[in-house]
Homo-oligomer: A and B are copies of this chain.
């Protein structure tokens, strides 16, 4: 930067201001600085900037390790967050830590490394959130706590998604539907989206006068296969199956095939919050009620950055609506059953 200043014939502070735009600089000077920067192919040193300024340009993405490894939906969230951060000249640090803990992130903050943190897999009751708040770590949640009045978050709108899915099945004439949810442990852990989706499905089904049967399945093909076959045996009236997550899709389709239920002629299937990638990869391609997972990561990163840069008008709280993507697994309910 010294070199740039010398070449442009101005002082270092002028260069700094010309680049950051924090104080008015004359056109002429600015152009000379720009030219010198160009000439020397100058790139500011980020460590020095971090030391001297108030922002380091780093965000931590806190990824719980003891859960089932990330599925495609999550990957897309993460990568999108990294890309959004980059657009705004921030950098994303991948930080793994056991589900309940956050001491590591707190240390990152105290060591002057990060400006804030993004939290994944948010539970309804979060020790991490209060702990990090207390440590003055700016936070944006991907997901929500039970009562997220005061913090920033970006989350899927569970109620809207549930209502959309149930309404669609209702229109198609289905009267009895099943829901294959995640393992019981996800409920016990209090994962927000899991509980909200379930509750919302129950509510929507009631309002539409639909019969809803819920079941849990571990996140593997064998388990969801077995769960769906058991369920169809116990509830022969069921003509549609809702499944949450990337993980259940393969098993559900598999199970239905194995008991000679044709999809969608005999039974319709809807994937909730399933990544397009997985929906398109399955066979037949799965109709989903979902949104682009990338929006979750992208908006969370941008919300964090806006808050840090003081560009936002207050706390950002976003609920992403889902859309119905009709693919090949939904059809009118079979008649005469």
Residues of B within 8 A of A51 (CB): 45, 47-48, 51
Binary B-proximity of A84-126 (CB < 8 A = 1, otherwise 0): 0010000111111000000010010011110000000000000
Determine whether A70 belongs to the interface, using a CB cutoff of 8 Å to chain B.
yes
Q: Do A92 and B91 form a contact, CB below 8 Å, given A43-B111, A69-B75, A69-B79?
A: no
A221 at the interface (CB under 8 A from B): yes
How many copies make up the complex? 2
Q: A112-B46, A219-B281 are known contacts. Are A79 and B91 too (CB-CB below 8 A)?
A: no
Smallest beta-carbon distance A134→chain B, Å? 14
CB-based contact B95/A82 at 8 Å:
yes
Interface string of A58-96 (1 = CB under 8 A from B): 000101010001111001101100110010000111111
A277 at the interface (CB under 8 A from B): yes
Complex: chain B residue closest to A104, CB-CB: B86
Among A46, A71, A75, the one with the most B-chain Cβ atoms within 10 Å of its Cβ is: A46
Q: Does A312 belong to the interface (CB within 8 Å)?
A: no
Q: Does A35 contact B (CB under 8 A)?
A: no
| A56: contacting residue among B47, B86, B251, B281, CB under 8 A | B47
Q: Do A69 and B76 form a contact, CB below 8 Å, given A47-B112, A47-B113?
A: yes
Contact of A93 among B45, B93, B222 (CB under 8 A): B93
A219 to B76, CA, bound (A): 17
Say yes or no: is A50 at the interface (Cβ < 8 Å to chain B): yes
Q: Does A172 contact B (CB under 8 A)?
A: no
Q: Is A250 an interface residue (CB 8 A)?
A: yes
Residues of B near A257 (CB, < 8 A) are 257
Query: Which 9 A-B pairs give the minimum distances between C-beta atoms?
Result: A47-B50, A220-B281, A45-B112, A82-B94, A47-B51, A221-B283, A222-B283, A43-B111, A43-B110
